[in-house]
Amino acid sequence: MHRPFAAPTTPALLQMVARRQAARVAEGFAAAGLTDLRPGHAQLLVPLLGGGRRVSELADGLGVTRQAVAQAVTVLERGGYVERVADPDDGRARLVRLTPHGLTALRAMRRTALALEGEWSRHLGPDGLDQLRELLTALLSEDDGGSRNGAGNTAGP
């Protein structure tokens, strides 16, 4: 495939779409009155839908460092989105779990994600959106380098 040198690569285009989507998520948070929540931090909320998780589990699942997760958890805890509780299986360990406020944030993320999918469906057509989803899923399934960091959840649950 030949492409002019100045034309963005496909990975660059995906990054541009992700940045635009993150801005839309931030707008959705603001509309829901969640002005202290950033989309990057909110990504940590998605894996907590299944229940409390240790910081190490979250870091492994998201493909980031434990330190990065611990810092984000501190921010989210201050905002009332998560809480740390004792792990019933290991009294020395702590679990991070969602609060009702965190669920409110996830609902705002989901509304924004569904609105974006609706716009994309109108622009690409339902078949085009289905094809895009299949292609992105195929790319993610090919990722065996351990960098699969929840990118499939960028727009929320």
pLDDT tens digits, 81-137? 999 999 998 888 999 999 999 999 999 999 999 999 999 999 999 999 999 999 999
User: Residue 1 has what pLDDT?
Assistant: 60
**Are 102 and 53 spatial neighbours (Cβ–Cβ below 8 Å)?**
no
Q: What is the pLDDT of residue 138?
A: 92
- Give the pLDDT of residue 85: 95
Residue with tokens 């870091």: 59
Determine how many CB atoms are found less than 10 A away from the CB of residue 48: 22
Q: Is the pTM of this model over 0.95?
A: no
> Which tokens go with 43?
């990504």
